[in-house]
Chains A and B, each alone.
Chain A
Amino acid sequence: MNHMKKWKAIEVTEIAFLSIAMAAILILLSGADPLTAGRMFFNGIFGNASGFGEVFVKATPLILTGLGCSVAFRTGFFNIGAEGQFYIGALASAWVALNATGVPGVFRIILAIGCGFLFGGLWALIAAILKAKLGISEIICTIMLNYISMNLLGIAVRTFLMDPAGSIPQSEKIDASVTLLRFLKPTRVHTGIFIALGAVFFVWFLMEKTTSGYEFKAVGFNKRAAACSGISVVKNIILSAVLSGGLAGIAGAVEVLGVQKKLLEGISGGCGYTAILITLLAFNHPGGVLLVSVLFAALEVGANSMQRQMGVPSAIVDFLIGFIVLLILGRELLTGKMRAKEGK
């Protein structure tokens, strides 16, 4: 046990050191001074309120989609489709926000977010049923469904949801009464962050304290033993997948109602894929998802500041994230092998 803790500590410092070194090299390669760039990086995050707030604006959809993935991974349903579920959730909530004009402000927000959850969940249900009943790989299904949903949204913003006054493929602006309140002006932080934090608590409670969480865990680790003990494997896979898609759908809704205030293409910014990395790095733990999401968001905000101030490409961050993931997974593999060698 102690042994493992020691490994963990060494790993964390090593990985931090390696990634900082790599960042410095990349910045040098792009012709800038790493020290100034570093200062700009932190300046972007901590230098002013709006930058700091932006970290939480960016973290909100990451937390929600990350939680979504972690719920699905718990039962062994490898949901690569958070991206698509995000789009469907965004589409559904935008439609409700724009068209359910009979419903007054706050209730329309609740309805829109509810629909985001519902349709994101239904979108995941397609893959879940194919997997649970027919044994078709959920990885392939959810990836394919991502393309479908992306193009569905594309069709929507060019036809029935297109802003009649404009010529760009995007919806008209959502009425201010139906958007999420920005309560920390001048930052863009909106009430969506509370939805995300609520979801963190909900998922933690579900996983750790309820019989459903227990069933998810048993099914995820050993489907056969679960079935032999009378736990329904099909039911739990479907349930976790729907919940997972629903959370990604909420992320879409929150992004529409809190940040963009309209529906447009590419609205997710790839956060459905980033979510998979976040979940992996957080070892499926809801608290970990929160932490890693905030870290990823901070990286992005800092990198954007570097790019604005010094022209260092912000793509460096994507490079670094990939590098860190490889380091961590590679490390796991290495220590796992070493432990196996010692133990056998």
Chain B
Amino acid sequence: MPLLEMKHITKAFSGVYANEDVTLSVEKGEIHALLGENGAGKTTLMNILFGIYQSDGGEIFYKGESVRFKSPADAISHGIGMVHQHFSLVNRMTVLDNIILGSGGKKEVLDRKQASEEICSLAEKYGLFVKPDELVGSLSVGEQQRVEILKALYRKADLLILDEPTGVLTPQETENFFHVLRRLKDEGHGIIIITHRLSEIMAISERVTILRDGKSVKNLVTLNTTPEELSAYMIGRPLSPKTEDRKKTSKEAALSLEGVSLSKKRAGKMALDHICLTVYKGEILGIAGVEGNGQKELAEVITGIRKHTEGNISFDGSAIDSRSVRERFHKGISYISDDRHMDSLVVDMTVTENMILRTYNRLPFSKKWILDYKKAENRALEAIEEYGIRTSGKSGTRTPVKLMSGGNQQKVILSREISKEARLIVASQPTRGLDIGATEFVHQTLIRQKNQGKSVLLISADLDEILTLSDRIAVMFEGRIMGILNREEADVFKIGLYMGGVTEEGGRP
């Protein structure tokens, strides 16, 4: 008898199927991978299982009995635990308090001592080492994840749902995390792991269910499959081989940073600590690192959104330290932010209006004080044509950007930021949240820029992306550059060490 069976699950939103006849079964002691592109329906399926949504049709059997969870609390009480991609922890409370939060049981008085013992024995059993008295806010991301898993186990979860659990981990942390998963499996827990990383599926799972366009298209035993087969099922066609040739980089510097620092508002720590970095013309320089180690600050200091507190930045041979965001843009520094909705788009405005966000105050879009919407509209139409942007709406260029898909939103940003005049593109997580097709498009666009002699500073938490695109790779840790590796000498292990703040001999911290 399987631990969980979801049969013929169907769920539609406004007549569009998010899940259609999806079937999934998980055994006790099995790690089951749920694979699919963005929008394939993975999250919807898990939200139905966890009681966040109610399905329109189909049945769920858990431990042999037919169930229908009305709320997450209902699912939790039946023994299902979910670790979301963005943790739900209270930073200013201790590990212990976070774990027992909301699971008070029937007793009137909290028995922290007993809870603590219970948690310690759970931690011991599964290798989830955390200190119960530490504040969650002071833990690393990997440790916080362990707290989340402990939280689920403390609530007696037999089935764990893990949503993109490795996105924020270093390769070493991922390895540790996999050890934990194997132990959980050996103890008879069922685990559903949602991911789009094929290598991890191959490494950890027993079986894979692949979703595409809301349907479960295939169920495979991992041992009998290959990453190529998985990706073919996932996107419905084989991956196109990387055809773009790479041109050699020039010796001429485009951007150089000398001892650039940025002090944090609070605490004594530096957000950026004496960064020295050069990006050459025709080069893609990758910045690897666990998120939150100063990458965002680096991008913002270069684009002028924040002013560095120490050091010099020069672009194309002239100092730009005191230049404004707008001046830097017109000198050729453009920016694709990791936070599309906050930094790069005004989502309530139309495609046209977003297209001229950088240039609305210049010819041809305006003369003196008067805007020429006609010209702007034409510009938008050109971009829609050139980039194949789908505006998903009859209003075309007047569609508010918030109604468009992530991939199409990103294309709006690309077409705006990668103009003829752009000479350095600071691209931060440019493919986050995009499906494989859109990701390929972004990658090819960036390589084309490089081949035209432009420079790209590519910041990404996705190591595969960094390794495929970059000419050189710099690794950031706590606001410092731990080392810079050439394309040829870069390997995951070395980068992983740098990402964790370890410098081996010969490194250039």
Are A and B co-members of a single complex? yes
A contacts, CB < 8 Å to B:
1, 209-214, 217-218, 221-222, 224-230, 342-344
B268 to chain A, nearest CB (A): 24
Question: 11 A–B contact pairs at CB < 8 A?
Answer: A1-B394, A211-B370, A214-B371, A218-B346, A221-B349, A226-B346, A228-B305, A229-B325, A229-B329, A230-B326, A230-B358
CB within 8 A of A210: which of B358, B371, B393, B395? B371
CA–CA, A225 and B344, complex, Å? 5
CA–CA, A342 and B348, complex, Å? 20
B118 to chain A, nearest CB (A): 37
B357 pairs with A225, CB closer than 8 A: yes
B370 pairs with A209, CB closer than 8 A: yes
Interface size on B, residues (CB 8 A): 31
Q: Which residues of A contact B327 (CB under 8 A)?
A: 230
Q: Which residues of A contact B395 (CB under 8 A)?
A: 1
Q: Which residues of B contact A342 (CB under 8 A)?
A: 13-14
Known contacts A1-B394, A209-B370; A214 and B360 CB within 8 A of each other:
yes
CA–CA, A214 and B376, complex, Å? 12
Q: Which residues of A contact B326 (CB under 8 A)?
A: 229-230
Q: Which residues of A contact B357 (CB under 8 A)?
A: 218, 225, 229
Q: Which residues of A contact B369 (CB under 8 A)?
A: 210-212
Instruction: Check if B353 is an interface residue, CB within 8 A of chain A.
Output: yes
Listed from nearest, the 4 A-B pairs whose CB atoms lie closest are A230-B326, A230-B325, A222-B346, A221-B348
Instruction: Check if B361 is an interface residue, CB within 8 A of chain A.
Output: yes
Chain B CB count within 10 A is highest, among A210, A217, A224, for A224
Known contacts A214-B360, A217-B349, A226-B346; A209 and B371 CB within 8 A of each other:
yes
CB within 8 A of A227: which of B305, B345, B394? B305
Q: Which residues of A contact B342 (CB under 8 A)?
A: 222, 224-225
CB within 8 A of A230: which of B324, B347, B348, B366? B324
CB within 8 Å of A: which of B3-32? 13-14
B360 pairs with A344, CB closer than 8 A: no
A215 to chain B, nearest CB (A): 8
CA–CA, A344 and B348, complex, Å? 18
CA–CA, A229 and B14, complex, Å? 35
Instruction: Check if B343 is an interface residue, CB within 8 A of chain A.
Output: yes
Known contacts A211-B361, A224-B343, A230-B358; A343 and B13 CB within 8 A of each other:
yes
B372 to chain A, nearest CB (A): 9
Instruction: Check if B335 is an interface residue, CB within 8 A of chain A.
Output: yes
A222 closest partner in B (C-beta): B346
B349 pairs with A218, CB closer than 8 A: yes
B365 closest partner in A (C-beta): A211
Known contacts A218-B357, A230-B329; A344 and B13 CB within 8 A of each other:
yes
A95 to chain B, nearest CB (A): 33
A167 to chain B, nearest CB (A): 52
Given contacts A222-B347, A230-B325, 13 further A-B contacts (CB under 8 A): A1-B395, A209-B371, A211-B369, A211-B371, A214-B360, A217-B353, A218-B349, A221-B349, A222-B342, A222-B345, A222-B346, A228-B343, A229-B329
A227 closest partner in B (C-beta): B305
B372 closest partner in A (C-beta): A209
A228 pairs with B337, CB closer than 8 A: yes
Q: Which residues of A contact B349 (CB under 8 A)?
A: 217-218, 221
CA–CA, A227 and B353, complex, Å? 15
B417 closest partner in A (C-beta): A229
CA–CA, A225 and B348, complex, Å? 12
A228 pairs with B13, CB closer than 8 A: no
B325 closest partner in A (C-beta): A230
Chain B CB count within 10 A is highest, among A218, A225, A226, A227, for A225
CA–CA, A226 and B393, complex, Å? 25
A225 pairs with B358, CB closer than 8 A: no
CA–CA, A139 and B325, complex, Å? 30
CB within 8 A of B14: which of A211, A217, A218, A343? A343
CA–CA, A219 and B349, complex, Å? 11
Chain A CB count within 10 A is highest, among B335, B360, B393, for B360
Q: Which residues of B contact A211 (CB under 8 A)?
A: 360-361, 366, 369-371
CA–CA, A343 and B403, complex, Å? 11
B335 closest partner in A (C-beta): A228
A250 to chain B, nearest CB (A): 21
Q: Which residues of B contact A222 (CB under 8 A)?
A: 342, 345-348
Produce 1/0 per residue, B428-448, CB < 8 A to A: 000000000000000000000
B369 to chain A, nearest CB (A): 5
A260 to chain B, nearest CB (A): 36
CB within 8 A of A225: which of B329, B345, B360? B345
CA–CA, A344 and B54, complex, Å? 12
Produce 1/0 per residue, B335-379, CB < 8 A to A: 101000011111111000100011011000010011100000000
A113 to chain B, nearest CB (A): 23
B401 to chain A, nearest CB (A): 10
Q: Which residues of A contact B14 (CB under 8 A)?
A: 342-343
B190 to chain A, nearest CB (A): 28
B264 to chain A, nearest CB (A): 19
CA–CA, A65 and B370, complex, Å? 25
Q: Which residues of A contact B394 (CB under 8 A)?
A: 1
CA–CA, A221 and B350, complex, Å? 12
B179 to chain A, nearest CB (A): 37
B367 closest partner in A (C-beta): A211
A217 closest partner in B (C-beta): B349
CB within 8 A of B346: which of A209, A210, A225? A225
A206 closest partner in B (C-beta): B369
B371 pairs with A221, CB closer than 8 A: no
Q: Which residues of B contact A212 (CB under 8 A)?
A: 369
CB within 8 A of A229: which of B347, B348, B358? B358
A205 closest partner in B (C-beta): B370
Q: Which residues of A contact B325 (CB under 8 A)?
A: 227-230
CA–CA, A342 and B12, complex, Å? 9
B44 closest partner in A (C-beta): A344
A221 pairs with B346, CB closer than 8 A: yes
CA–CA, A344 and B327, complex, Å? 41
B474 to chain A, nearest CB (A): 23
B326 closest partner in A (C-beta): A230
